[in-house]
Structure 1
Amino acid sequence: MTTLDATQKTVLVHEILNQHYGIQEIYARLDPMHELIATVLSHRTTHANEVAAFRRMRERFGSWEAIRDAPVDELIDAIQTANYPEVKAPYIQQILTRIIAERGEANIDFLRDMSTEDALAWLTALPGVGPKTSTLLLLFNFRKPVLPVDTHVHRVTQRLGIIGPKVSPEKAHAILLAYLPQDALVLYNFHKHFYWHGQRVCTWSYPKCHQCVLREYCDYYAERQKR
């Protein structure tokens, strides 16, 4: 296996996945406010269950203000398809309360004009919003040069040996970002490609190493070959 330092390996495997999956243009699936709340709902649940919970919540309450003011048990019931609705419902109401109180409406488009550092600080100060939620929102919706690290990105980069075995997803954000150009399109494709690769090839159980275009550079694969 070719010996590379962490930066060299990161750039190389990123280029291989760019060729394998193709360069994607940055695409925001939702408006920023919708994306924020949907991402809170998405924690530890499937995309289908997140979508179902969001749709039922909006159909039941209509406006962001109505969601903010709803009895919490009714909101819990509305988002029950998302895992841990009893945790997420209070967070959603606290987020909406703070944004509407501060901005006068449920709108976070102002983040577009903030520096990346200030926007990250503002978002992570919201209840229940951590690095994953804030970086997804800022990259997808506002094209800020940040790198979301979800379970797939974390697993693949850890198996490759780019980040250490004890590095948490929260700490991986800064480590991986330091290895890559501070360019939103580059970071978007890194996130998307490693996410897809973790879903399709480098799965949690029974990874398809024989199909992996990165196996030549993978610490995990090298260790498996020794067994």
Structure 2
Amino acid sequence: MTAIDVAQKTWLVHEILNQHYGIQAIYGRLDPMHELIATVLSHRTTHANEMTAYRTMLERFGSWEAIRDAPVAELTEAIQTSNYPEVKAPWIKQILARIIAERGEANVDFLREMTTEDAMAWLTALPGVGLKTATLLLLFNFQKPVLPVDTHVHRVTQRLGIIGPKVSAEKAHGLLLAYLPQDATVLFNFHKHFYWHGQRVCTWSYPRCGQCVLNPHCDYFKKQS
């Protein structure tokens, strides 16, 4: 397919999922710092275990400053329900130390006033913050026109044939974004709907192709058939 064909297919399946799941208004978590740190905890971790780690961390230490100053071993133990806590604990401490040193407090609301490009560059310079974490924060909390690509979005778009089988999730951020309008509401709904579809229908191990509203447009379904 040409790039125009792929863009048209991307928009078509997006509209089908809009009808299937309903268009959502953009919403984030309670505040941007929550989004940032919780998303770091979410890497390779279920939502339930991520939230348990986040809640335990805050209950034990009480403030961002106390988390910054906590011994690595104690913070690692507090977030143990998140996978790879021994890696994430130093990242969280370094992120908080850098933000507080630069801004005088644990607050990233200033990102709202930055250009999308500058905000992305600032965030991805933080330890452990990649494209997924940065795009989630900027889209959900600041309505910037970026597209988070998690494992579900990546899997579903690959099976559909929108991105190639060897395209990484990192590369998919830019490829998928190029096929869609630079509109935060469109991008938010694309992300949420493909995320839900990957969770509920186009699952990794046993995709429910017979129940899928996208199967007429899906390369994976056609090969299985």
List per-residue Cα deviations over 1:79-111 (Å, max 9, x = no partner): 111111000000000000110111111000000
List per-residue Cα deviations over 1:29-87 (Å, max 9, x = no partner): 22001110000001111111111111111111111111000110000011111111000
Calculate the TM-score normalised by the size of structure 2.
Answer: 0.98
* Corresponding residue of 2:128: 128
Over the matched positions of the two proteins, sequence identity in percent amounts to 82
Q: Secondary structure at the match of 2:128?
A: coil
The answer as to 2:46 corresponding to 1:75 is no
> How far apart are 1:189 and its partner, in Å?
0.1
C-alpha distance in 1 between matches for 2:117 and 2:75? 32
- Output the amino acid matched with 1:157: T
Q: May I ask how many residue pairs the two structures share in their alignment?
A: 222
* Corresponding residue of 1:86: 86
C-alpha distance in 2 between matches for 1:189 and 1:182? 12
- Output the amino acid matched with 1:196: W
Q: Secondary structure at the match of 2:106?
A: coil
> How far apart are 1:206 and its partner, in Å?
1.1
CA RMSD of aligned residues (A): 0.7
Q: Secondary structure at the match of 1:167?
A: coil
* Corresponding residue of 1:33: 33
Deviating runs (4+, > 6 A) in structure 1? none
- Output the amino acid matched with 2:195: Y
C-alpha distance in 2 between matches for 1:54 and 1:140? 18
Residues 10-29 of structure 1: pairs in structure 2 closer than 5 A: 10-29=10-29
C-alpha distance in 2 between matches for 1:29 and 1:146? 17
- Output the amino acid matched with 1:111: L
The answer as to 2:86 corresponding to 1:64 is no
* Corresponding residue of 1:104: 104
Q: Secondary structure at the match of 1:5?
A: helix
> How far apart are 1:181 and its partner, in Å?
0.3
Residues 154-193 of structure 1: pairs in structure 2 closer than 5 A: 154-193=154-193
Q: Gaps (5+ residues) in structure 2?
A: none
C-alpha distance in 2 between matches for 1:122 and 1:37? 15
- Output the amino acid matched with 1:44: R
Calculate the TM-score normalised by the size of structure 1.
Answer: 0.97
